[in-house]
Amino acid sequence: MKSNIRFTLTIFMALLIFPALSFASDSSRREPPGPPPSFADSDLNHDGVLTEDEVRGPLAEDFDQIDTDGDSQLTEEEIDAFMQSHKPPEPR
């Protein structure tokens, strides 16, 4: 009888843990779909600037170009200025 309870507990724990594990491996394999993260989302340590290890994708690729003052940090103003100078012309 005691071993039966233990078996049930083991199954119960496995059912609890397995979905969590499969979810974790899924999310690390794929990038979530949707728009790119905002400045605030990217600023992981909330110091108001983005460092090279906080940016991904196009921001990381153009980091040196965006960082116009060369302090290895991107401010929201630097990113805005880069976006303004690199956005496609408005259709007329």
Q: How far apart are the two ends of the chain, measured CA to CA in Å?
A: 80
Element housing 61 (H / E) = helix 57-61
Question: Would you give the binding string for Ca ion spanning residues 46-65, x where CB under 5 A is met?
Answer: -x------------------
Residues touching Ca ion, count (CB under 5 A): 7
Cα–Cα–Cα angle for 58, 61, 67, nearest 5°?
95
Which one of the spans 5-13, 19-27, 38-46, 56-64 is the region binding Ca ion (CB under 5 A)?
Answer: 38-46
Report the interface residues with Ca ion, using CB under 5 A: 43, 45, 47, 67, 69, 71, 73
